[in-house]
């Protein structure tokens, strides 16, 4: 690792910044065919909500920036919990002179204009929304619990937001699979017409990965075919030409997507990357950073939002009075990249961990059309 890369690590260690990844609910109105979550937990309990509030109050005296990252489940399925915590955080941050920011990983189904306007008032205006293709192609993999489609509702919400005066940043995470590639060129052309001329919207392309659900395997694009797929779709979406990487992962992004990705740290399995030439190296996952913690709906404190049931990811529990007793050895495991300076351990400290066992109880959905 070069001296410049070591210097690039310093901002990720800033003790004046605290990121709390919060699960207001672990239930979801979708049942995506490749999802790795099991939806066994419901809404965040009153005791955990109280603990989060007290944790915020205790930490504000030592920080300058509080970032709330909302995850799930589908976080907007528990807007009441989000609003309660945002109300509290906003008042406390104003009282102590701390900046409040935030981002939301959402499926977009409940993101109407009224919701976005209220969240903007809390400084929560950055979103990441997954799209799996145009129309029916999206609906084959991103279904409601009932089995119904979701594309039309999401698209309608996005058009309404586009026509509003709300200041937000929406990053469309475009999921590529063997089943939806044929629809992606059409999606790219329509998105350029409807959204990508507006600087509030951006896109990045990402192939589906197996994160603990073997149902993803049949629709995963082979690594040797990914670069060609990215290059073809870059034209349709009007994106910068991609660069090839040794691991066959190819990142393409517009200039707006680069700015959006640089400004956010979504609690996603893989964070939205800026183009290789534009992003600082090394990439540091939120799970590797000492100033980022995930608090599940039951109060469990974790680092990674993917390895939900791996014991190494259970650092401790948040009490109702806001205190946490965290396992130092487990913290060291997730932060080991800062000691080794290994780029792979910094980018994904979960590498090397076994796949999490799944006990998901969802309705069976066929991937086929």
Spell out the domain ranges in the chain.
3-347
Q: Which residues contact 291 (CB under 8 A, 6 or more apart)?
A: 12, 13, 14, 15, 17, 18, 19
Q: Which residues contact 344 (CB under 8 A, 6 or more apart)?
A: 337, 351
Confidence of residue 329 (pLDDT cuts 50, 70, 90): very high
Fold of 3-347: TIM Barrel (3.20.20)
Sign of CA dihedral 68, 72, 75, 80: negative
Q: Quick one: how far is CA 7 from the chain centroid?
A: 26
Q: Is the pTM of this model over 0.75?
A: yes
Q: With contact defined as beta carbons under 8 Å apart, do 36 and 268 qualify?
A: no
- Gap between the Cα atoms of 70 and 20, Å rounded: 8
Q: What is the 3-state secondary structure (H, E, C) of 72-86?
A: CCCHHHHHHHHHHHH
pLDDT digits (tens, 9 = 90+) for 111-165: 999 999 999 999 999 999 999 999 999 999 999 999 999 999 999 999 999 999 9
Buried b / exposed e over 193-214, threshold 16 CB at 10 Å, is: eebbeeebbbbbbbbbeebbbe
pLDDT digits (tens, 9 = 90+) for 240-285: 755 544 333 444 444 444 444 434 444 443 444 444 334 444 689 9
């Amino acid at each position: 690792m070069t001296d410049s890369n070591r210097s690039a690590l310093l901002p990720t260690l800033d003790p004046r910044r605290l990121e709390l990844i919060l699960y207001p609910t672990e239930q979801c109105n979708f049942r995506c065919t490749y999802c790795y979550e099991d939806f066994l937990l419901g809404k965040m309990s009153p005791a955990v909500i109280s603990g989060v509030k007290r944790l915020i109050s205790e930490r504000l005296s030592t920080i300058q920036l509080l970032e709330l990252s909302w995850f799930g489940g589908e976080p907007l399925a528990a807007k009441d919990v989000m609003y309660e915590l945002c109300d509290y955080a906003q008042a406390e941050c104003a009282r102590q002179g701390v900046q409040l920011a935030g981002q939301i990983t959402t499926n977009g189904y409940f993101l109407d204009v009224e919701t976005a306007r209220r969240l903007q008032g809390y400084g929560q205006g950055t979103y990441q929304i997954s799209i799996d293709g145009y129309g029916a192609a999206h609906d084959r993999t991103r279904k409601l619990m009932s089995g119904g489609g979701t594309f039309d509702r999401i698209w309608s919400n996005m058009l309404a937001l586009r026509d509003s005066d709300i200041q937000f940043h929406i990053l469309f995470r475009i999921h590529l699979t063997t089943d939806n590639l044929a629809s992606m060129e059409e999606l790219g052309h329509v998105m350029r017409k409807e959204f990508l001329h507006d600087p509030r919207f951006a896109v990045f392309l990402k192939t589906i990965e197996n994160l603990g659900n073997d149902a993803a395997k049949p629709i995963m694009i082979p690594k040797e075919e990914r670069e060609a797929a990215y290059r073809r779709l870059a034209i349709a979406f009007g994106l910068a030409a991609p660069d090839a990487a040794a691991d066959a992962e190819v990142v393409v992004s517009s200039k707006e997507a680069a700015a959006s990705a640089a400004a956010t740290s979504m609690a996603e399995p893989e964070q939205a990357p800026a183009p290789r030439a534009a992003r600082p190296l090394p990439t540091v996952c939120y799970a590797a950073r000492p100033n980022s913690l995930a608090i599940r709906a039951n109060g469990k404190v974790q680092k990674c939002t993917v390895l939900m049931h791996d014991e190494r990811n259970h650092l401790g529990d948040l009490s109702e009075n806001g205190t946490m007793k965290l396992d130092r050895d487990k913290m060291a495991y997730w932060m080991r990249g800062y000691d080794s300076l290994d780029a792979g351990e910094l980018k994904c400290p979960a590498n090397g961990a076994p796949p999490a066992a799944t006990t998901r109880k969802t309705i069976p959905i066929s991937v086929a059309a």
